[in-house]
Amino acid sequence: MLEHDLQQVAELLLSARHTVAFTGAGISTPSGIPDYRSPGTGLWETMDPMAVASLRAFRADPEAFYRTMRPFAMKLLAAQPNPAHLALAVLERHGLLACVITQNVDHLHRAAGSRCVWELHGDLREAVCVNCKRILPADGLWHRFLQKGVIPRCASCGRALKPNLILFGEPLPRYIFLEATGEAERCDLMLVVGASLEVAPACELPFVALRHGARVVVINNAPTPIDGQAQVVIRRDLAEVLPRLAEICRVHLRSSGDAASSEEER
């Protein structure tokens, strides 16, 4: 059944005009980064996100934010791309994937070689002062914090710097969200990969794609709100499924290329 589903997804990819991947925390769990809502292992299973990871909480007690998030940050910064990230980069190199829209802040898509990546929730490459609004490269700030416990502070006002990622209570970066929305509107195929589709407004983008006529494929361990409208739903290990999908597509492309060469020779 899995092979049949993957062949179907490969056919959709090979015939699509403009394919977009929408990824969530599930694509990075094989890299050792826990997701947020899986029963027993999700980050928010053991803590209240509004009390820890909201802008209000950070402003009130940045030291508590850093202290609580330190174990998660250690896993985040130590993580390496897994086969699922690499497979999406392969699909892009073969011209079968226009871009990745991700809710993740771990930078693993770019590290894997994906070139067009829209990071809806920010990233750890920069730090921002919530007081004077300065944005600066993070460089070694996070590593110094993990190694020595030194909270990064703004050189201008002395307040604690926040990782330039989106906390609860913050709007998404307007330009990035508009670009991602445009990709959802113009695509004719969207791969929803490792995303629970529970966090708004990012979770609306696959439905935007549907409303504009796109087909949707879901590859996720748990059910999502869009499953009933998806062309194909696969519930298997992403690090197993996506490399196999990329290989099937590669074989099809090679076969069609060989056939085209033979036709030219004749």
**What's the pLDDT score for residue 44?**
65
Give the model's pLDDT for residue 95: 97
Q: What pLDDT score was predicted for residue 39? A: 66
Global confidence as pTM:
0.91
Average pLDDT, the chain: 91
Most confident of 120-124, 170-174, 189-193: 189-193
Helix 238-265 to helix 83-93 angle, to the nearest 10 degrees? 20
83-142, pLDDT tens digit by residue? 999 999 999 999 999 999 999 999 999 999 999 999 999 988 899 998 998 898 987 888
Give CA torsion, residues 95, 99, 104, 107, to 10 deg.
Answer: 60
> Residue written as tokens 């330009």?
175
Determine the pLDDT at residue 5. 97
Q: Residue 41: what pLDDT? A: 62
Q: Which residues fall within 8 angstroms of residue 257, CB to CB, at 6 or more apart?
A: none
Distance CA 56, CA 58 (A): 5
The average pLDDT across 46-50 equals 79
Looking at per-residue pLDDT, the higher value among 69 and 167 belongs to 167
pLDDT of 7 reads 97
30 pLDDT band, cuts 50/70/90, is very high
In this model, does residue 264 exceed pLDDT 80?
Answer: no
Could you tell me which residue, 199 or 99, shows the higher pLDDT?
99
How much is the average pLDDT of 209-236?
97
Query: Measured in whole angstroms, how far is the alpha carbon of residue 263 from the centre of its chain?
Result: 41
pLDDT at position 42, please? Answer: 65
Identify the top-confidence range among 44-53, 62-71, 79-88.
79-88
Percent of the chain exceeding pLDDT 90 equals 70
Is pLDDT of 262 > 50? no
Q: What is the pLDDT of residue 36?
A: 72
pLDDT at position 265 over 70: no
Query: Under DSSP, is residue 7 helix (H, G, I), strand (E, B) or coil?
Result: helix
pLDDT of residue 217: 98
Contacts of 245 (CB under 8 A, 6+ apart): 6, 9, 10, 13, 87, 91
For residue 72, pLDDT beyond 90: no
Catalytic positions, please? 121
Q: Which two tokens stand for residue 80?
A: 């390496």
- Is 59 a residue whose pLDDT tops 50? yes
- Domains of the chain with CATH codes: 1-31+81-121+172-266 (3.40.50.1220), 34-78+123-165 (3.30.1600.10)
Question: Span 185-200, mean pLDDT?
Answer: 95
